[in-house]
């Protein structure tokens, strides 16, 4: 795919269901008693990996139409041992959450992934799961393939999150479901809380209290979950691609319908407002225990700002596209404390610097910080970006092309299907100059 300078993005669009919530709904429905009906699920490559894995554990999962998924769960403790390796493709969330779930079942599972996932750290999750009584081995002690032998007599424990990772937290919470007694997780980073919200919907025995700025989550295990009927809100990270495109392309005015806005995920929206973005949140409602809005965005003159480290867990997936916004803002933008970017689908810390440098935007890095010197003017273009199998780097590069004099090409657009299969269609609908070849 390639893109070039665009004007006047206009129209109303719908973006696909939230990726984090879709993974969790598939997993929880697959271990609940009875049927769940999930409307508006994200049908992307990543979610299909979770669906395949849960089918291998014995759940029945069918689509009644492309966005409506019917799941009959196996009931708590009912996971069957998979007959072959589970392939998680590009999805870190799928592999880590399902490691957590299987750690408290008396089964042995082999986990594999694509080239990008096989370079991402897994020890950070598996070492916490040992507390349940599970054991594991990893290639070079940190990478897939992994073999996990779940515990036949899981033990509850108290756990304090050491990295700002909702995946690690969620892995422990999912393991706790089939563990007798009370498992406790302390989260001082305020990571995304979809697992906790959804567990309540399914009737889990879960409780969260906030002590100073630390969230303490307790789960009492061996309490059956019950199937639910639910609609999935739109993904706020996917929504940011058309939203930031509209902010930086002149004379634009778009509305993105049905977007999830959660205080543990909305950092990028708060930051854009502080940068001077004209964004309004309309028609508030609740879906899947989450707040949802239609978001209207008009072109804006952005200014650079300082984004503190403490905001990073609330916007960790959104730095690549925010870097594009910052490159068009007047003045310096600081991304503080963004080391976790190195452990995503690719090393996004380096990927962001590379995209900016190739586009002719000055940027520096100091330890865990990135500094972007923005200018409200078209970038040079005539570049090709290596995306390193990273969907968000691919879409960010294409949005950079919309404010570039000459074309921006990417080396691989296949990965966009992992999170935002309708990206091309949605961007064309609002008038972006994007082409397949």
Q: How far is the CB of 433 from ligand S3P (least distance, A)?
A: 28
Stretch that binds ligand S3P, among 82-90, 152-160, 165-173, 227-235 (CB under 6 A): 165-173
Pairwise CA distance, residues 264 & 244, whole Å: 20
User: Taking a C-beta distance cutoff of 8 angstroms, is the pair 331, 304 a contact?
Assistant: yes
> What's the closest the beta carbon of residue 180 comes to ligand S3P, in angstroms?
26
Q: Which of 43, 72, 105, 192 binds ligand S3P (CB under 6 A)?
A: 192
Confirm or reject binding of residue 18 to ligand S3P (CB under 6 A): no
Q: How far is CA 308 from CA 125, 251, 305, 338, 387, in A?
A: 26, 31, 10, 9, 27
Q: Of these residues, 45, 46, 114, 317, which one is catalytic?
A: 317
Q: DSSP secondary-structure letter at 115? A: T
- Options 33-41, 102-110, 161-169, 247-255: segment touching ligand S3P (CB under 6 A): 161-169
Give the residue among 318, 276, 279 at the shortest CA–CA distance from 295: 279
Judged by CB under 6 A, the residue of 1, 27, 41, 166 near ligand S3P is 166
Q: Which residues pair with 335 in a beta bridge?
A: 307, 370
Q: What part of residues 323-342 is at the interface with ligand S3P (CB under 6 A)?
A: 340
Query: Count of residues binding ligand S3P (CB under 6 A)?
Result: 10
Q: State the DSSP code for 382.
A: -
Nearest to 329 by CA among 390, 284, 379: 379
Binding to ligand S3P by residue 170, rule CB under 6 A?
yes
CB of 20 to ligand S3P, least distance (A): 3
Q: What is the rounded distance in angstroms from the CA atom of residue 112 to the CA atom of residue 115?
A: 10
Q: Which of residues 20-49 bind ligand S3P (CB under 6 A)?
A: 20
Q: Minimal distance in Å, beta carbon 315 to ligand S3P?
A: 10
Nearer to ligand S3P, 401 or 420 (CB): 420
Angle between helices 348-358 and 391-401 (to 10 degrees): 20
Nearer to ligand S3P, 36 or 167 (CB): 167
Distance (Å, rounded) from C-alpha 26 to C-alpha 202? 12
CB 249 within 8 A of CB 55: no
50 counts as binding ligand S3P under rule CB under 6 A? no
The residues of the shown chain that bind ligand S3P, judged by CB under 6 A, are 20, 93, 165-167, 170, 192, 316-317, 340
């Amino acid at each position: 795919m390639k893109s070039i300078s665009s004007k006047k993005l206009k129209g109303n669009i719908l973006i696909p269901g939230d990726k984090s919530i879709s993974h969790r709904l598939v997993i929880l429905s697959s271990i609940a008693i009875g049927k769940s009906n999930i409307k508006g699920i994200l049908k992307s490559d990543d979610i299909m990996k979770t669906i395949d894995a849960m089918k291998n554990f014995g759940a029945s999962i069918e689509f009644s139409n492309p966005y409506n998924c019917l799941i009959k769960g196996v009931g708590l403790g009912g996971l069957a041992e998979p007959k072959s390796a589970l392939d998680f493709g590009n999805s870190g969330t799928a592999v880590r959450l399902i490691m957590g779930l299987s750690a408290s079942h008396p089964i042995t599972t082999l986990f594999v992934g694509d080239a990008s996932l096989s370079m991402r750290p897994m020890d950070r999750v598996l070492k916490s799961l040992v507390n349940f009584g599970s054991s594991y081995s990893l290639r070079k002690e940190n990478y897939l393939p992994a073999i996990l032998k779940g515990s036949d007599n899981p033990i509850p424990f108290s756990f304090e999150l050491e990295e700002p990772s909702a995946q690690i937290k969620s892995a422990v919470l999912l393991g706790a479901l089939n563990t007798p007694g009370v498992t406790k997780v302390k989260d001082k980073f305020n990571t995304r809380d979809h697992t906790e919200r959804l567990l309540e919907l399914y009737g889990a025995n879960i409780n969260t209290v906030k002590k100073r700025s630390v969230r303490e989550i307790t789960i009492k295990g061996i309490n059956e979950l019950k199937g639910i009927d639910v609609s999935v809100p739109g993904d706020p990270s996917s929504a940011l691609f058309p939203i930031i495109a509209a902010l930086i392309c002149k004379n634009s005015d778009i509305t993105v319908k049905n977007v999830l806005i959660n205080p543990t995920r909305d950092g990028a929206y708060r930051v854009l407002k502080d940068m001077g973005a004209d964004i309004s949140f309309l028609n508030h409602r609740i879906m899947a225990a989450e707040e949802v809005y239609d978001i209207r965005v008009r072109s804006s003159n952005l200014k650079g700002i300082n984004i503190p480290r403490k905001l990073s867990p609330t916007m960790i997936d959104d730095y690549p596209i925010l870097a594009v916004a910052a490159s068009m803002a007047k003045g310096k933008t600081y991304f503080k404390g963004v080391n976790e970017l190195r452990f995503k689908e690719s090393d996004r810390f380096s990927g962001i610097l590379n995209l900016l440098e190739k586009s002719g935007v000055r940027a520096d890095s100091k330890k865990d910080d990135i500094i972007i010197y923005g200018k409200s003017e078209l970038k040079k273009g005539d570049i090709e970006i290596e995306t390193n199998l990273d969907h968000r780097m691919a879409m960010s590069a294409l949005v950079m092309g919309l404010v570039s004099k000459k074309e921006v090409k990417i080396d691989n657009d296949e990965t966009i299907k992992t999170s935002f299969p309708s990206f091309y269609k949605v961007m064309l609908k609002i008038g972006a100059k994007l082409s397949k070849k």
